[in-house]
Structures are given as structure tokens and as C-alpha cells.
Amino acid sequence: MNAPISKQVAEQAIFAAARWYVANRETIRQRQGHVVPELRNRFGLTPRQAIEAIRHANAAEQKGS
């Protein structure tokens, strides 16, 4: 059984996942990958955390536009 991670560590993982997704969004689209499972596998996120990372990535991309 895995020990629960601290909120700070979870937030760091979410923001790291968001940055990774912004940088790799086109690659994922091209191979028609599923984003939530990809983020969960790469960063150890829960489904809710993966969705939060996607929201952060979308917001960052909109700010940059």
C-alpha cells in the first residue's frame, strides 16, 4: 500500500504534468493518445489530479495566446 503524499508534493506533480502536457500536446494528438491515462502513468496522478493538470495546461496556453 502506498503512503499518501503531501499536498505540496501532489501540487508539484500536477504542475509538472501541466508543463509536460503543454510541451507534448501535439504529439499526443497525433498519436490519438488518451491524456488522462498518460498523465496518470507518467506522474502518478489520480484521475482528478490529471484533469486539474489539463486545466492548468489549458489556462497556460490561453494566457500565452
Counting the structural domains of the chain, the total is 1
Residues 6 or more apart in contact with residue 14 via CB below 8 angstroms: 43, 45, 49, 52, 53, 56
Give the C-alpha separation, 25 to 34, whole Å.
Answer: 11
Residue 2 lies in a domain: no
Residue 45 lies in a domain: yes
* pLDDT digits 0-9 by tens, 16-54: 999 999 999 999 888 888 999 999 999 999 999 999 999
pLDDT band at 13 (very low <50, low <70, confident <90, very high): very high
Residue 15 lies in a domain: yes
**Cα angle value 58/59/65 (rounded, 5°):** 90
Residue 37 lies in a domain: yes
Range of the domain at 37: 7-64
Residue 25 lies in a domain: yes
DSSP string, 8-64: HHHHHHHHHHHHHHHHHHHHHHHTT--HHHHHHHHH---HHHHHHHHHHHHHHHHHH
Residue 1 lies in a domain: no
pLDDT of residue 65: 57
